[in-house]
Amino acid sequence: MMMKKSFIYLINQDNFNEKSLLKSDLYPIPEDEDVNVFQGYTFLELCCYHGASHCFKILISALNVEITPICLQFSFLSGNPEIISECLKEIDPNEKCMHYAIIAHNTNFIEYLANNYGLNIDLDCCATHFNIQALIIYLDQTKRVNKTFIYSPRFHSLDLVKYFIDAGADINAIDEMGVTALCNASINSSVEIFEYLISKGANVNAKTNDGNSPLHFCVEQSRLQFMEILISHGADVNARNDLGNCPIMTALDTKNKEIAKYLISLGAKVNVQNNLGFSPLHIAVINNYIEIVTLLIIKGADVNAHDMCNKTPIMYAIENCNLEMIKFLLSKQAIVNVSDIYETNAFNNAVVKNNIDVIETIISLGVDIKSRGAQGKTALHMAAQNNNIVVAEYLISKGAKVNSKDDLGKAPLHYAALFGGIDLIEFLVSHDSDVNSKDDDGKTPLHDSILSFKFDEKVAEFLLINGADINAKDNNGMTPLHYAVLNNKIEMTKILLTHGANVNAKNIFDMTPLNYSINDELSSILILNGGKRDEDPVL
């Protein structure tokens, strides 16, 4: 009664909002919700979760709070008949209600939902939550001996499994997902049941609809003893599922190094590749398993195997900035002068990662510092694009060309102007970068600095002080002032005018900067500086 009075006091406060949402790790997140987007549950939903019938009644009677589908679902989890009855007046139950009834081990509700609403009893849910009564209800209602038998091993009762065998269950029966009793035993069962199923003729190499064998499941669940039993009865250690993954790949994907080592010792193929082209070596490198990498190479793994993106193991080692792995792979003749299908080479990837130690290691092997990757970019282009001044300094000290151009005609200074900061700009210019270099569109670094999302007036001013042509035109006849006005950059417009920009410069459409102004303040500044609008531009 005290709780009821306390709750009444709470809802009568001026700041109480019955629509407030509460979120906690203690409560389940709806399956159809993104964990990062999910906002939480209402007071009424949490009343249903906890079976708080008094608070529930107060909310719907005093505040007319809406009953939601989640209210009904949670009511079957808490099992409060009063709340369930009220919710059923507003909402029809769904499979989630049955799911929660199974979790709650409430036999009456399970039968009620099955009999009155035709909701299916999920045997996987029964097994996961060890609800053997729900399993028996399913068998009693459907008479599907084989389907029920398939899930029986997960209840850890040999007598239950034997009961179904004696009742005529097919030892290799499959459900709609292609799962057999042995597959379920591989996921969660006792050794005794596992061996019994095999002794009765269970197929150790049976595959589910997605191609997983019992061995795949044992590997995924880290069940070494079960694996040994399967393999001793002829299980294929190189069986592949529909993704092309064999058990050793599953072991590496699930970060189980001991299982992986065991499979390697049994002769698992080390150069098999899955549908994405990943070999066991690729996966081991991606996960930074130097010990497994060593074992795989000893067993003959191809250190230069290419995946579907044409990436080799060393390219992933570089992406991980794992210097130990890189040096080891290099000692095993890994080739570093390779590019993926996007024409990104390993060296440029190292530059993007901004790891000097990795870069030094690669250069020490004689890699051409002027080599080009995607879009013809050199390592210095990538350093400039990523504003990596330390890397840029190192590359130039090793002979990188500051004015080399990529496939777009851009020099590193263009990218520094677009993406970098003033320190990098100053450094490149101090090493003779051409401040008036033009790309294939005719744009100079000054143009790019004004178009930059990271726009900094200091960059433009520095370029101007160091000789940038203030009236340079691109292929469309656009000057830096045109772009400053077009992008509504008032301070930049003032700076350009102060440095002597031609306020009436015309582009190829005979349009002056004033033609592009949609800002009254900007228009006034241009007009005060003699700006005129071409009244008859060529459009």
Per CATH, 144-236 and 344-469 having the same topology is answered yes
Average pLDDT, the chain: 92
* Average pLDDT score over residue span 361-383: 86
Structure letter (DSSP) for residue 67: P
Structure letter (DSSP) for residue 270: S
CA–CA separation, 237 and 268 (whole Å): 6
Predicted local confidence at residue 1, as pLDDT: 44
| From 29-38, 172-181, 381-390, the region with the lowest mean pLDDT | 29-38
* Average pLDDT score over residue span 220-242: 96
Structure tokens at 156: 């850890």
Domain boundaries, the chain: 144-236, 253-335, 344-469, 471-539
Sign of CA dihedral 152, 117, 43, 80: negative
Residue 538 has pLDDT above 60, yes or no: no
Predicted local confidence at residue 536, as pLDDT: 53
* Average pLDDT score over residue span 18-37: 79
pLDDT grade, residue 350 (50/70/90)?
A: confident
| 3-state SS class at 261 | helix
Residue 236 has pLDDT above 50, yes or no: yes
Nearest to 525 by CA among 537, 450, 507, 495: 495
Burial call 290-325: b when 16+ CB within 10 Å, e when fewer: bebbebbbebebebebbbeeebbbbbbbbbbebeeb
Predicted local confidence at residue 21, as pLDDT: 84
Query: From 1.25.40.20, 2.30.30.90, 3.40.50.300, 1.20.1260.10, which CATH number describes the 471-539 domain?
Result: 1.25.40.20
CA–CA separation, 75 and 81 (whole Å): 8
Which stretches within 188-254 are classed as H helix? 191-199, 214-220, 224-232, 247-253
Task: Count Cα atoms within 13 angstroms, Cβ side, for 25.
Answer: 0
Residue 417, amino acid? A
Residue 119 has pLDDT above 90, yes or no: yes
CA–CA separation, 140 and 126 (whole Å): 15
pLDDT grade, residue 92 (50/70/90)?
A: very high
Query: Is the separation of the CB atoms in 285 and 316 below 8 Å?
Result: yes
Predicted local confidence at residue 287, as pLDDT: 95
Nearest to 315 by CA among 296, 335, 295: 335
Residue 208 has pLDDT above 60, yes or no: yes
Query: pTM for the whole thing?
Result: 0.78
Predicted local confidence at residue 10, as pLDDT: 66
Sign of CA dihedral 92, 95, 97, 101: positive
CA–CA separation, 205 and 210 (whole Å): 13
| 3-state SS class at 281 | helix
Residue 278: what are its φ and ψ, rounded to 5°?
A: -75, 135
Name the more confident of 24 and 448.
448
Residue 36 has pLDDT above 80, yes or no: no
253-335 CATH: 1.25.40.20
| From 54-68, 430-444, 479-493, the region with the lowest mean pLDDT | 54-68
| From 34-48, 133-147, 459-473, the region with the lowest mean pLDDT | 34-48
Residue 4 has pLDDT above 60, yes or no: no
144-236 CATH: 1.25.40.20
Query: Across the strands, what pairs with 339?
Result: 345
CA–CA separation, 474 and 444 (whole Å): 8
Query: Is the separation of the CB atoms in 218 and 184 below 8 Å?
Result: no
CA–CA separation, 48 and 71 (whole Å): 6
pLDDT grade, residue 61 (50/70/90)?
A: confident
CB atoms within 10 A of CB 434: 16
Query: Across the strands, what pairs with 345?
Result: 339
* Average pLDDT score over residue span 145-155: 98
Residue 349 has pLDDT above 50, yes or no: yes
Sign of CA dihedral 472, 477, 481, 486: negative
> What angle (nearest 5°) sits at the alpha carbon of residue 146, between those of residues 140 and 152?
80
pLDDT grade, residue 2 (50/70/90)?
A: very low
- Calculate the CA dihedral of residues 515, 517, 520, 524 and round it to 10 degrees: -60
Predicted local confidence at residue 345, as pLDDT: 81
- Calculate the CA dihedral of residues 14, 19, 21, 26 and round it to 10 degrees: 100
Query: Tell me, which fold does domain 344-469 have in CATH?
Result: 1.25.40
Predicted local confidence at residue 27, as pLDDT: 86
